[in-house]
Structure 1
């Protein structure tokens, strides 16, 4: 018997636990990578559409006027968000019954199907009105899939973290969204630089959708070794709370209606800023500022790269000082900054000014969106968390995020002012602050 070890149990425990601790950290790092990569692949498939909205509008919505074509194209981008709440309910409930892994695999297959339809859909010139119908169907399938993906993947990320690290772990949901935009915008820049306008409009724009379609099975393979965090799923036992497992939606609306309402309204400000800054400003630069496509896509790349870098810091900061303070300060700053930002890029419509403005706004977007998205799954108990997160996030995103580009373009046409998108962001931001004082602080507190 090792008497020294018996007399100093603390020393013995520390030495024996160190390899286990290192193994656990490595396992969690792999889990974050697997969830983030899979989630990023799904968002890549969904959002690459926005980078080629001007070309898709020309090929599939041949109405008179470039602004009208753009409105139809970005409106179709928003159509995908209509199905998000439906996907959130159906696939979120599935994730709370069959497990997070099963739900995330299903969403990847559905996203792959949507990308395949867009990649090979004939144009309006070839098959007439059936062409835009195919695009709309594909966007509906993708929206349904992504509605379930966000709830399942964010819940899984949060459940890998501890009470003191959930903000950091949850921030990787937003990192994955930024990563897909980085990859998508770089691919767009490369295609715009390498191909002629005729080639890009003929077949080049389809390349990202083919790539996204092919990446689906890779994402499923990456995720197959993740540990399930829903009790009873891996060993085949019934969930602890049978009622919650079989009726998650009914239980959610019966017991957590106030949390749903507060979460939806709070999400409006973050998601509107996210889709305007990360996606719409590149289209805005092309159509409104008349910058070349290759240059404008660098705006999307800059915004995404900044959010990828800043998001983990935003999550860690929310763990230290709380979700609500970080969200409140950053959102107020964003509301104050967005109008001067649009004035600046219209006064000097050059690439350096555009990139500087986008980078500054993207920092604020990261620090306001991360604590927001982290708070949502913390509002609900584990057995209905994926469903609750999916419904709240998708309801908030569906209209005010998905149709943000449409509303911004419509406001420009209605008012005749190129500064109109700033008004939209300011309005959404102010409304989203209303429920914040009534929401409980979740940082550093046990949620299960």
Structure 2
């Protein structure tokens, strides 16, 4: 279905839809970036790797509920509109952040502390499962056909901006608080900020241009799981490519800070600055790579991503495991993120192009969430298990192997832009 929007209206709609996405991901990622400081608050004193394993386990559980959120919010967005789904998911994410911000520690309430932390992450995971499908679908539908890759890339511009803002918040706190203060109470500040930011979406909701056709939304098959299962090839393509892209995303972003500290032995504040600079470069790459897909096609971009990452994952991660120089660490991480941007810039778009409108949000959200739960959500946990077993290099090969599967999927898939259901 086509929407007649002026250039100004289109930009306003994309900016508004992206704002909620940024807030959502700020709230979600602040957990990963502050884990080094709050791990000891929720688990008994012990080996740092063991504490991080416990935190990573809860982090992974938050991913495992994402398919449920992807199903619920995807169905909701297909039946009631993208706008309502976007607003509801962001507010739910803010509620999870608020709960973490005020949680008592293990020293105060014992085992209830990690149990409530788990509950908060389940709320956030459920919310995130719905956010991606609704946001990816909305930005893809509101974009013009000729520059759809460029416009849709702002899904990851704001996703990365959310990560970047979370990391920037941590770096700012590191400048005004010492490590003892950060471990005692400072880590709570970003969660409180995230909860407040979630309320902003209520002020912006009236500026969202609804892209769902009323007749389509009211059809019997809108948001139907049975109708979605009639598109098995599209589901398998999305899950396979998301496995490679999601695993690399969480390896080279959220886990990389812990990796550089816990494996390479770099200073925690220096590592934060390295990741801050790398993430800024990663964010700026998205529109360029999205525009590239408008010129050469989505399939070629996906082939370049998966092929290059298959070949380079092991050498890059091996080099990062022993890096001591901040400049070299930055270049290595940025190299990996540049390759990854060939996928992330069109991640939401190529998935949306594979499904008809009446099941688009459900198809994108559910398939993406299942794969992210299995591969992205467990990335840190598997990496830390390999490290604890003294076989960390196995994880490097695991990343390469998953990307190799994604390469063969991209090789045999049809060009999404040519078979796009976006305007049907």
**TM-score (norm: length of structure 1):** 0.90
Query: How far apart are 1:342 and its partner, in Å?
Result: 2.4
Query: How far apart are 1:241 and its partner, in Å?
Result: 6.0
Instruction: Please tell me whether residue 181 in structure 1 is matched to residue 158 in structure 2.
Output: no
SS at match of 1:243: coil
Give, in whole Å, the separation in 2 of the partners of 1:344 and 1:367. 22
SS at match of 1:62: coil
Which one of the candidate residues 70, 93, 96 is aligned to 1:114?
Answer: 96
SS at match of 2:321: helix
Query: How far apart are 1:422 and its partner, in Å?
Result: 1.9
Query: How far apart are 1:445 and its partner, in Å?
Result: 5.2
Query: How far apart are 1:424 and its partner, in Å?
Result: 2.6
Contact 2:228 2:363 in 1 (8 A): yes
Give, in whole Å, the separation in 1 of the partners of 2:303 and 2:43. 41
Contact 1:281 1:299 in 2 (8 A): no
Which one of the candidate residues 366, 374, 379 is aligned to 1:404?
Answer: 379
Structure whose CA Rg is larger: 1
Which stretches of structure 1, 4 residues or more, deviate above 3 A after TM superposition? 238-241, 417-421
Give, in whole Å, the separation in 1 of the partners of 2:208 and 2:330. 38
Which one of the candidate residues 409, 415, 418 is aligned to 1:441?
Answer: 415
Contact 2:244 2:399 in 1 (8 A): yes
Which one of the candidate residues 390, 399, 413 is aligned to 2:365?
Answer: 390
| 2:204 corresponding residue in structure 1 | 222
Give, in whole Å, the separation in 2 of the partners of 1:29 and 1:444. 25
Query: How far apart are 1:350 and its partner, in Å?
Result: 2.3
Query: Where in structure 2 are the equivalents of 1:41-440 lying within 5 Å?
Result: 41-62=23-44, 64-232=46-214, 238-239=215-216, 242-245=219-222, 248-253=224-229, 255-414=230-389, 416-440=390-414
Instruction: Please tell me whether residue 39 in structure 1 is matched to residue 16 in structure 2.
Output: no
RMSD: 1.7
Q: Closer, same or farther in 2 for the Cα pair 1:240/1:394, shift >3 Å?
A: closer
Give, in whole Å, the separation in 2 of the partners of 1:299 and 1:268. 26
Give, in whole Å, the separation in 2 of the partners of 1:190 and 1:372. 31
Q: Closer, same or farther in 2 for the Cα pair 1:373/1:153, shift >3 Å?
A: closer
Query: How far apart are 1:221 and its partner, in Å?
Result: 1.6
Query: How far apart are 1:355 and its partner, in Å?
Result: 1.1
Give, in whole Å, the separation in 2 of the partners of 1:177 and 1:279. 12
Query: How far apart are 1:163 and its partner, in Å?
Result: 2.7
CA distances 1:402-444 after superposition (whole Å, capped 9, x unpaired):
1111111111222x14444422311221122232233221225
Work out which structure has the larger RCO, using CA pairs closer than 8 Å and 6 or more positions apart in sequence.
2
Query: How far apart are 1:384 and its partner, in Å?
Result: 0.9
Moved more, 342-351 or 197-206: 342-351
CA distances 1:182-211 after superposition (whole Å, capped 9, x unpaired):
111111111122211111011100010000
Q: Closer, same or farther in 2 for the Cα pair 1:427/1:342, shift >3 Å?
A: same
Structure 1 residue runs without a partner (length 5+)? 1-20, 233-237
Moved more, 369-378 or 349-358: 369-378
Structure 2 residue runs without a partner (length 5+)? none
Give, in whole Å, the separation in 1 of the partners of 2:212 and 2:73. 15
Query: How far apart are 1:239 and its partner, in Å?
Result: 3.3
**TM-score (norm: length of structure 2):** 0.95
SS at match of 2:346: helix
Give, in whole Å, the separation in 2 of the partners of 1:313 and 1:329. 15
Contact 2:259 2:321 in 1 (8 A): no
Give, in whole Å, the separation in 2 of the partners of 1:52 and 1:40. 18
